[in-house]
Structure formats: C-alpha cells, structure tokens
Amino acid sequence: MMIPPSKVALVTGANRGIGFEIARLLGERGMEVLVGARDPARGEEAAARLQALGIAATPLHLDVTDAQTIEAAALAIASRYQKLDVLVNNGAISIDGGHPPSELPLERLRTTYETNVFGVVAVIQAMLPLLRRSEAGRIVNMSSAMGTFGVWSHPYMGFGAAPPLAYGTSKAALNAITVFFARELRETPIKVNAAEPGPVATEMNPAGTRTPAQGAQIAVYLATLPPDGPTGGFFSETGVVPW
Ligand SMILES: NC(=O)c1ccc[n+]([C@@H]2O[C@H](COP(=O)([O-])OP(=O)(O)OC[C@H]3O[C@@H](n4cnc5c(N)ncnc54)[C@H](OP(=O)(O)O)[C@@H]3O)[C@@H](O)[C@H]2O)c1
C-alpha cells in the first residue's frame, strides 16, 4: 500500500503566541511544520520545543518584510518538499500605541502595512506555485475583529480605546485580500479564508482572555477544511464573522 506523503504547513510568526500553537496543533495532526520566524535563533528555539513534543518541526527564517528571506524560504520548501499544503499568514505587528487616528504618526501606518498587508501578499505570491502543487492547498490569514467595519461604525461597539487606525485597517485590508485571492483561485482546490481568534493573551494583547491554544483553533479548522469547505470567508470558532 502506498503511504501518502505527509502534509507540509508553513506558519509565519510561529516562534511565539498564537502562531506557535497553530504550529503545534497542525504538527499534532501529523503535518510537517515549518516554523517561520524573522529571528532565526527564536525560530530554532521554537522548533526545538515542538520537536521535544514529538512534532516534525523545522525552523525557517522568514521575515515577511524581507523579500530575500521570502524567496529563500520558497526555494528551500521547493527543494525539500516540492509542494506546500498549508500556509498560515499569522505574523503581524500592532504598534498604534494608543494614538487616535488624527494623531497616529504616518510612519506607524506604513510600518504596520509593510508587515500585516504587503508582507502577507508577498508571502502568498511566493508560496502560490508550491500551494498549487498540493492536492488541497489551504491559505489562512490571521485577521481580527478589529478589522471589521461593524465594530468601529457602531456607536456602542468598540474596544474601549482609541480606534487603532494602523492595525485595524491593516486587518480590514487583509480581509479584502482574502476575498480577492479566493476569487482568483476559485477554480482550483486552494481555499483562502480569514480567521478571527478572539482576544488572546499574548505579547500583542496582554489583556486577552483566551489562551493561545484556544486562539489557534479556528486557524487549524480552516487549514484542514475538506474539499467542500468554504473559501473567501471570515470565521471565528462560533461561525461566520460579519465583515
Ligand atoms: N492576541 C490577540 O488577541 C489577537 C486577536 C486577533 C487577532 N490576532 C492576530 O493573531 C496573530 C498572532 O497574534 P499574537 O497575539 O500571537 O501576536 P504576538 O504574540 O505578538 O506574535 C506575533 C508573531 O508575529 C511575528 N512577526 C512580527 N513581525 C514579523 C515579520 N516581519 N515577519 C515574520 N514574523 C513577524 C513575531 O515575531 P517576533 O517574535 O520576532 O517579534 C511573532 O512571532 C496576528 O496576526 C494577530 O494580528 C491576535
């Protein structure tokens, strides 16, 4: 009997937080996990922690704002696996620092978009040839309720702080990017969806009430969708999230 080749998953920003847990949970499902990290030492340390849990984890130097590391990562995956089954665009930054939109230094908007928006597109474009070689490619974009229009346009909703223009609009753009790629790829087996993990206690959100493992669940669900699963949607653990 032929043993099917194992699935290969790449998680960006997998060295800590929700990304680490996504990598762990995909690894527990038998996937080979590439631990994307912008700092090679942090990636190696995280991969070693996963290996100690019995997971097939390999560190991969990948700074989503650095075209050279993206290209090198794609070449490394092509040479070792010839394909990619799952891409989770998890790495992101949140640097509004409490500034209201009227006072946000423009540089913070640019820096945020470099990682949360342009970085994601660059990684998808680089990995797409490898995802096309998978029987069931899955792209998961880690988004946020902060990227929804409903939250900020409703007078009684919001998060009790100044609307984070850079972070929130970067995730709104990511949601749009999700729909655009899903549209382009709709005749292929590849599914592209956005995930909302809820408020998760990490370095990005120390006040979060959910564990990183809980936050990772929706990404794992979307990364392992069956062939008749949705594409071009935005989901949390409780279902569809309104844009
Ligand atoms: N926590 C929440 O409540 C929450 C809610 C909604 C959505 N999310 C989303 O969930 C995802 C994970 O968030 P988190 O809370 O786990 O954040 P986190 O603990 O701050 O971790 C962010 C990860 O992204 C990496 N990263 C940052 N810039 C990068 C770059 N240029 N290239 C590659 N990796 C980069 C970080 O690497 P370093 O270690 O090198 O900094 C780190 O591994 C993010 O997309 C976030 O927007 C989080």
Q: Closest ligand 1 atom, CA of 142?
A: 45
Of the candidates 19, 8, 17, the residue with the CA atom closest to the CA atom of residue 141: 19
CA distance 236 to 2: 36
CA distance 218 to 143: 11
CA distance 36 to 19: 9
CA distance 150 to 87: 28
Beta bridge partners of 234: 194
Of the candidates 146, 241, 131, the residue with the CA atom closest to the CA atom of residue 194: 241
Residue-range domain boundaries for the chain? 8-240
Taking a C-beta distance cutoff of 8 angstroms, is the pair 12, 89 a contact?
A: yes
Question: What is the Å distance from ligand 1's center to 79 Cα?
Answer: 28
CA distance 117 to 65: 10
What's residue 131's pLDDT? Answer: 98
User: What tens-digit pLDDT sequence spans the chain (243 residues)?
Assistant: 445 558 999 999 999 999 999 999 999 999 999 999 999 999 999 999 999 999 999 999 999 999 999 999 999 999 999 999 999 999 999 999 999 999 999 999 999 999 999 999 999 999 999 999 999 999 999 999 999 998 888 877 777 778 999 999 999 999 999 999 999 999 999 999 999 999 999 999 999 999 999 999 999 999 999 999 999 999 999 999 999
Query: Which residue of 50, 143, 146, 200 sits with most ligand 1 atoms within 8 Å of its CB, as the best mutation to test the pocket?
Result: 200
146 DSSP assignment: G
pTM: 0.97
User: Residue 210: how many CB atoms within 10 A of its CB?
Assistant: 18
Question: What is the Å distance from ligand 1's center to 115 Cα?
Answer: 10
Please tell me the class of the 8-240 domain. alpha beta
CA distance 192 to 231: 5
What's residue 156's pLDDT? Answer: 75
Does the CB atom of residue 17 touch ligand 1 within 6 A?
yes
CA distance 67 to 122: 8
